[in-house]
């Protein structure tokens, strides 16, 4: 299924990006999105923010709406941990305990049961997952990334999102509760919320065709004057 030009980038400290000693904030990551788009000579895009990258995409869409044709959020959330008015996430103490366990197992197939349960019983997939984690970050690096996510809160930005927004969430997502995605969508004016079958957190695990079809429908539904330049995603 061809959707258009695809632009990917690794956040600071992750993947092929330089290690900077600390996890980038939502603000810094949003600035980096703009830098990447300028380097790619792209004037308008549909942003796809999965999981912890969603908040930075929200920030960029609010700050640079003329550059954003549409916003798609997958398995994401607006606040990283529990609050009295946000009961859809782990309490900080629970989150820290989970983070400590994940980091202790880093280098092996850490977290695969939570993030990609459909792959968790496949030995080849488990070996691939372990290699992916080792390439993605170090134990210290992911510790900082997860701490930054715990402290993230962009709920105040949601009413300011003015671009067409699609929120996708799998019904039984084990990493981010679907209630968090539904609540986030309810606070973005005109946002469409689509509930998908499955329990995988990452879009590349489980049934991918429904995800691609929902994205395609969203892009094709954009008014012509809002279509991304060269259909960049």
Q: Are 42 and 232 spatial neighbours (Cβ–Cβ below 8 Å)?
A: yes
pLDDT at 3 over 70: no
The mean per-residue pLDDT over the stretch 5-12 comes to: 87
Q: Is residue 153 part of a domain?
A: yes
Q: Is residue 20 part of a domain?
A: no
Q: Are 55 and 25 spatial neighbours (Cβ–Cβ below 8 Å)?
A: no
**pLDDT one-digit tens code per residue, 79-124:** 999 999 999 999 999 999 999 999 999 999 999 999 999 999 999 9
Dihedrals φ, ψ of 98, to 5°? -65, -40
The mean per-residue pLDDT over the stretch 173-197 comes to: 97
The mean per-residue pLDDT over the stretch 1-23 comes to: 79
List beta partners, residue 45.
68
- Only one residue has tokens 């004037």, namely 43
Q: Are 205 and 116 spatial neighbours (Cβ–Cβ below 8 Å)?
A: yes
Q: Is residue 8 part of a domain?
A: no
Q: Is residue 15 part of a domain?
A: no
The mean per-residue pLDDT over the stretch 30-41 comes to: 94
Tokens representing residue 156 in the block: 């105040």
Q: How confident is the model at residue 77 (pLDDT cuts 50, 70, 90)?
A: very high
List beta partners, residue 153.
79
Residues 138, 19: Cα–Cα separation, whole Å:
10
CA angle 142, 19, 26 (to 5 degrees): 65
Q: What is the CATH number of the domain that holds 121?
A: 3.40.50.1820
pLDDT of 151: 94
The mean per-residue pLDDT over the stretch 126-142 comes to: 93
Q: Is residue 176 part of a domain?
A: yes
Average model confidence (pLDDT) for the chain? 91
pLDDT at 232 over 50: no
Residues 229, 233: Cα–Cα separation, whole Å:
9
Q: Is residue 187 part of a domain?
A: yes
Q: Is residue 12 part of a domain?
A: no
Q: What is the pTM of this model?
A: 0.92
pLDDT at 220 over 80: yes
pLDDT of 125: 97
Q: Is residue 161 part of a domain?
A: yes
* Total domain count, the chain: 1
């Amino acid at each position: 299924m061809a959707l258009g030009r695809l632009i990917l980038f690794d956040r600071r400290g992750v993947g092929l990006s330089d290690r900077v000693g600390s996890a980038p904030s939502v603000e810094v990551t949003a600035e980096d999105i703009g830098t990447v788009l300028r380097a790619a000579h792209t004037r308008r895009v549909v942003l796809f923010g999965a999981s912890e990258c969603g908040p930075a995409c929200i920030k960029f869409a609010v700050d640079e709406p003329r550059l954003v044709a549409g916003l798609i959020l997958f398995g994401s959330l607006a606040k990283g941990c529990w609050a009295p008015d946000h009961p859809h996430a782990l309490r900080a103490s629970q989150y820290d305990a989970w983070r400590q366990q994940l980091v202790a197992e880093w280098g092996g197939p850490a977290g695969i049961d939570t993030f990609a349960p459909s792959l968790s019983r496949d030995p080849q997939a488990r070996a691939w997952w372990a290699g992916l984690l080792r390439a993605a970050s170090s134990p210290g690096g992911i510790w900082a990334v997860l701490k930054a996510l715990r402290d993230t809160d962009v709920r105040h930005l949601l009413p300011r999102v003015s671009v067409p927004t699609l929120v996708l969430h799998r019904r039984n997502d084990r990493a981010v509760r679907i209630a968090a995605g539904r609540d986030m969508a309810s606070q973005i004016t005109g946002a469409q919320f689509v509930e998908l079958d499955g329990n995988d957190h990452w879009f590349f695990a489980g049934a991918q065709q429904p995800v691609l079809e929902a994205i395609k429908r969203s892009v094709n539904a954009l008014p012509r004057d809002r279509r991304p330049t060269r259909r960049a995603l």
